[in-house]
């Protein structure tokens, strides 16, 4: 579990195609790596991956087919910048929102506009995710916790406002029209929707203790 508060930007150093997946070596700041061990979960551009090897200035992860099908990690080339965050520890401050690192889909940047000292990004998500992106909802883009500034329309277009600090500290500072971003909707909203759907007539909701409600 993560918070969407990016701790640093790593760079893809190398990639290897493997049967049923892909291995990535990611160069990262040594100070950030001091808190990372083999077996740890880390967020790489918003995707939760497991560290399988670590050196003084890089770590390796293996990406399975399911993750490759939902992200751009299968086509990322050496030099690509990747937002990094270590997993949340019990007792840490939750500065952003709960982010699971389970990418829902790729979203496309359709516009980038200056807005004061910051930037407004207009992003198109798959239409099926539009109900999870109303005004002021949480959303994670490439692992960055953001608030929806303008809710999604029927085509899945929504906007987020990026403050100067986000532009400086994350890869969203380089996001441009046509670029694909990893999108994860607020998991709490998704779970609530599933529970409410099960309570509707014809749903299969079972009350605690096994009784039907």
Predicted local confidence at residue 195, as pLDDT:
82
Per-residue pLDDT tens for 41-71? 999 999 999 999 999 999 999 999 999 999 9
The mean per-residue pLDDT over the stretch 135-146 comes to 97
What span, in angstroms and rounded, lies between the C-alpha atoms of 140 and 147? 9
What span, in angstroms and rounded, lies between the C-alpha atoms of 37 and 50? 10
Q: Which two tokens stand for residue 121?
A: 């990004």
Query: One fold for both 8-86 and 105-196?
Result: yes
The mean per-residue pLDDT over the stretch 136-160 comes to 96
Report which secondary-structure segment, H or E, holds 137.
none
25 band by pLDDT with thresholds 50, 70 and 90: very high
pLDDT at residue 153 is higher than 50: yes
pLDDT at residue 22 is higher than 90: yes
Per-residue pLDDT tens for 78-136? 999 999 999 988 878 788 899 999 999 999 999 999 999 999 999 999 999 999 999 99
CATH architecture of the domain 105-196 equals Beta Barrel (2.40)
For residue 124, the cross-strand partners are: 108, 157
Per-residue pLDDT tens for 89-102? 887 878 889 999 99
pLDDT at residue 212 is higher than 70: no
Q: How many CB atoms lie within 10 A of CB 189?
A: 16
Q: What is the pTM of this model?
A: 0.90
The matching CATH number, chosen from 2.40.30.20, 3.20.20.150, 3.20.170.30, 2.60.40.10, for 8-86 is 2.40.30.20
Predicted local confidence at residue 203, as pLDDT:
58
Query: Mean pLDDT, the chain, as a whole number?
Result: 91
The better pLDDT of the pair 169, 90 is held by 169
Predicted local confidence at residue 168, as pLDDT:
96
Predicted local confidence at residue 121, as pLDDT:
97
What span, in angstroms and rounded, lies between the C-alpha atoms of 158 and 125? 8
Domain boundaries, given as residue ranges, for the chain: 8-86, 105-196
């Amino acid at each position: 579990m993560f918070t969407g508060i990016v701790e640093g930007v790593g760079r893809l150093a190398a990639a290897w195609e493997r049967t049923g997946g892909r291995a990535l070596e990611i160069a990262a700041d040594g100070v950030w790596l001091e808190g990372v061990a083999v077996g740890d979960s880390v967020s790489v551009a918003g995707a939760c991956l497991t560290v399988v090897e670590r050196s003084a200035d890089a770590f390796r992860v293996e990406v399975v087919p399911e993750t490759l099908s939902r992200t751009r990690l299968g086509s990322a080339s050496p030099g690509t910048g990747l937002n990094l965050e270590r997993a949340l520890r019990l007792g840490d401050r939750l500065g952003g929102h709960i982010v699971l690192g389970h990418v829902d889909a790729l979203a496309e940047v359709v516009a980038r506009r200056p807005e004061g000292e910051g930037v407004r990004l207009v992003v198109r998500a798959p239409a099926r995710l539009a109900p999870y992106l109303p005004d002021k909802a949480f959303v994670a883009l490439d692992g960055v916790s953001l608030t929806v500034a303008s809710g999604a329309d029927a085509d899945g277009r929504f906007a987020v406002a990026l403050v100067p600090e986000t532009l400086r500290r994350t890869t969203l500072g380089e996001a441009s029209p046509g670029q694909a971003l990893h999108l994860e909707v607020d998991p709490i909203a998704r779970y609530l929707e599933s529970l409410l759907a099960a309570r509707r007539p014809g749903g299969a909701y079972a009350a605690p203790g096994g009784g039907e409600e």
